[in-house]
């Protein structure tokens, strides 16, 4: 039997590492156990082709909470964020659309589509910014339970209500609409140009099994407006070294505070003694004891596989089984011999030094969803492309590039079942490359290596149940006091001594660290370690 720890964290994703860093900073003896050979979970960089480093899953950063960056001194630990320089939507005809950090330049671009939309665009951004400020207060604290009579819950609810009252009546109305509307309907209220609304609506579908016309997607859109980099709100960027560098910086902080981190250490099950979590058993059979066990793995995986339903009541088991994790996304990473050249804006320029969205129209996006609804991947999918090596040359050999392509839709549940994915993986990869190559001919010939990740691969390799990129859909019924389940949104679980700290807890998915940080604070204030 090895040393007894104060806390064992199952999973070395960025949230597990944040939780470990805070607990270790507070003087607790902490052990992180990661199943894979590399840390980071879905925030990971791997060299899968010699000299080419892929930011394998997540690829842009914006939501990372500034208080975590500050309190864990992540800049000192190597975290460096580089802002994207454009949001480019190529078209098969015409010049496409670029949205720049410079508002005047963006205004001129949009005026080419609609003068009225060019006027509206900054107003929309400001309105979303005001709502995002209100929501940020909510995501930086544990979610209060509206059914609870605890003074702390009531106090927090009263604070949020006061902040809500301080919104103008137009903003308050927008906030309510956002909770229920579709991204397409919301944008219809503001803009007339389909070519503008289409790329704007995409933030509403990322990671969801919903289309841009599905109610609820406006709320996901707001989630993506909450980002900031170095105090510049709504800015998105990449991490120098890929998103694995975010996890590595957090791991450096955690180790600096004394945490022990092990890789290739898969937890087979959570040890329960006398009805309380007492440690873990590894795949190797080793038992490690701890006062608390904190799962940084997805909730269904945590409760149904690692803990076991024999330790839970039937009602909890039934509810956690219903927690929705339907995967809808895939990822294709390419090593390129040369840069792509887009027909609508040829050559190397600032327009490709940002994110590139294949989202020509609202109908295109909705049709991409239609195929997924009936168990097939989209033949002409929505793509979000970034060439991070343009901003960070350390990721590829000189003159060469890595390209990250986020793809929707790729349903976990194929018509023939999820296990049919290995036989469809390359066809899916081909559909992605062919779709992009329509906009930049010659892409295929420049590919030196290709990695294709389907939702099935995301589950097998990264422990993302059903391939859901956020450890559970980010829909209103699975957020705030209901994440992962009503009554269990405060990082605790029905088994004393077992806690949760990752994206399946409030405030949800994305590389933001908030679940890990808030869970650690909850554990420390409960004085259980």
> What minimum distance in Å lies between the beta carbon of 313 and ligand FAD?
23
> What minimum distance in Å lies between the beta carbon of 473 and ligand FAD?
12
**Residue 65 burial class via C-beta count within 10 angstroms: exposed 0-12, middle 13-18, buried 19 and up:** buried
Cβ proximity to ligand FAD: between 42 and 195 the closer is: 42
Sheet holding 401-408, edge to edge: 97-99, 87-89, 355-358, 382-386, 401-408, 329-336, 447-453
Cβ proximity to ligand FAD: between 462 and 488 the closer is: 462
> What minimum distance in Å lies between the beta carbon of 325 and ligand FAD?
12
> What minimum distance in Å lies between the beta carbon of 430 and ligand FAD?
18
Euclidean distance between CA atoms 397 and 449, whole angstroms: 13
> What minimum distance in Å lies between the beta carbon of 510 and ligand FAD?
4
How far is CA 320 from each of CA 293, 311, 345, 470, 515, rounded to the nearest angstrom? Answer: 19, 13, 49, 16, 18
> What minimum distance in Å lies between the beta carbon of 526 and ligand FAD?
21
> What minimum distance in Å lies between the beta carbon of 157 and ligand FAD?
26
Parallel, antiparallel or unpaired: strands 30-33 and 287-295: unpaired
Residue matched to tokens 């979610």: 143
Cβ proximity to ligand FAD: between 72 and 110 the closer is: 72
Are 320 and 484 spatial neighbours (Cβ–Cβ below 8 Å)? yes
Written as six digits, the tokens of 289 are 């004891």
Task: Establish how many alpha carbons lie within 13 A of residue 413's alpha carbon, considering only the half-sphere containing its beta carbon.
Answer: 6
Rounded to 5°, angle at Cα 328 from 325 and 334: 125
Cβ proximity to ligand FAD: between 68 and 458 the closer is: 458
Dihedral angle over CA of 432, 434, 440, 444, nearest 10: 100
Cβ proximity to ligand FAD: between 110 and 222 the closer is: 222
Are 336 and 401 spatial neighbours (Cβ–Cβ below 8 Å)? yes
Q: Which positions touch ligand FAD (CB under 6 A)?
A: 10-16, 33-36, 41-43, 57-60, 63, 266-267, 296-297, 306, 329, 331, 406, 458, 462-464, 469-471, 502-503, 509-511
Are 40 and 12 spatial neighbours (Cβ–Cβ below 8 Å)? yes
Distance from the Cα of residue 518 to its chain's centroid: 17
> What minimum distance in Å lies between the beta carbon of 459 and ligand FAD?
10
Cβ proximity to ligand FAD: between 306 and 522 the closer is: 306
Cβ proximity to ligand FAD: between 361 and 461 the closer is: 461
Cβ proximity to ligand FAD: between 174 and 454 the closer is: 454
Written as six digits, the tokens of 305 are 């596989």
């Amino acid at each position: 039997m090895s040393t007894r720890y104060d806390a064992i964290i199952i999973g070395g994703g960025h949230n597990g590492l944040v939780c470990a860093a805070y607990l270790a900073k507070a003087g607790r003896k902490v052990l992180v156990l990661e199943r894979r050979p590399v840390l980071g979970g879905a925030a990971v960089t791997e060299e899968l082709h010699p000299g080419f480093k892929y930011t394998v899953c997540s690829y842009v950063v914006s939501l990372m909470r500034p208080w975590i960056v500050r309190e864990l001194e992540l800049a000192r630990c190597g975290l460096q964020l580089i802002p994207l320089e454009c949001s480019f939507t190529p078209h098969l005809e015409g010049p496409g659309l670029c949205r720049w950090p410079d508002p005047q330049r963006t205004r001129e671009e949009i005026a080419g589509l609609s003068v009225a939309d060019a006027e509206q665009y900054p107003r929309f951004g400001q309105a979303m910014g005001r709502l995002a400020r209100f929501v940020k207060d909510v995501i930086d604290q544990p979610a209060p339970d509206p059914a609870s009579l605890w003074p702390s819950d009531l106090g927090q609810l009263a604070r949020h209500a006061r902040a809500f009252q301080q919104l103008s009546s137009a903003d308050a109305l927008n906030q309510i609409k956002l909770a229920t509307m579709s991204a397409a309907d919301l944008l219809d209220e503001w803009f007339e140009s389909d070519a503008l609304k289409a790329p704007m609506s995409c933030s509403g579908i990322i990671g969801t099994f919903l289309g841009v016309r599905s109610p609820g997607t406006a709320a996901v859109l707001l989630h993506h407006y909450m980002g900031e980099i170095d105090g510049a709100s709504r800015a998105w960027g990449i991490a120098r070294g890929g998103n694995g560098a975010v996890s590595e910086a957090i791991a450096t902080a955690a180790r600096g505070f004394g945490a022990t981190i092990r890789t290739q250490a898969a937890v087979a099950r959570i040890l329960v003694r006398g009805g309380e979590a007492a440690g873990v058993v590894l795949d190797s059979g080793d038992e490690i004891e701890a006062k608390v066990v904190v799962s940084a793995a997805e909730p269904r995986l945590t409760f149904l596989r690692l803990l076991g339903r024999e330790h839970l009541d039937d009602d909890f088991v039934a509810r956690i089984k219903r927690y929705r994790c339907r995967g809808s996304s895939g990822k294709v990473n390419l090593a390129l011999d040369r840069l792509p050249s887009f027909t609508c804006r040829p050559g190397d320029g600032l327009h490709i030094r940002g994110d590139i969205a294949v989202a020509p129209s609202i109908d295109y996006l909705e049709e991409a969803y239609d195929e997924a609804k009936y168990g097939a991947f989209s033949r002409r999918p929505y793509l979000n492309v970034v060439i991070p090596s343009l901003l960070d040359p350390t990721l590829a050999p000189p003159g060469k590039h890595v390209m990250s392509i986020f793809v929707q839709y790729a349903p976990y549940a194929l018509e023939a079942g999820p296990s049919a994915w290995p036989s469809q993986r390359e066809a899916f990869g081909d559909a992605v490359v062919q779709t992009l190559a329509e906009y930049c001919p010659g892409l295929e010939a420049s590919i030196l290596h290709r990695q294709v990740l389907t939702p099935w691969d995301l589950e097998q390799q990264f422990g993302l149940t059903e391939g859901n990129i956020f450890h559970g859909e980010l829909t209103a019924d699975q957020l705030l006091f209901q994440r992962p389940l009503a009554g269990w949104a405060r990082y605790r679980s029905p088994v004393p001594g077992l806690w949760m700290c990752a994206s399946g807890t409030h405030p949800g998915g994305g590389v933001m660290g908030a679940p890990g940080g808030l869970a650690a604070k909850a554990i420390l204030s409960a004085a259980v370690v």
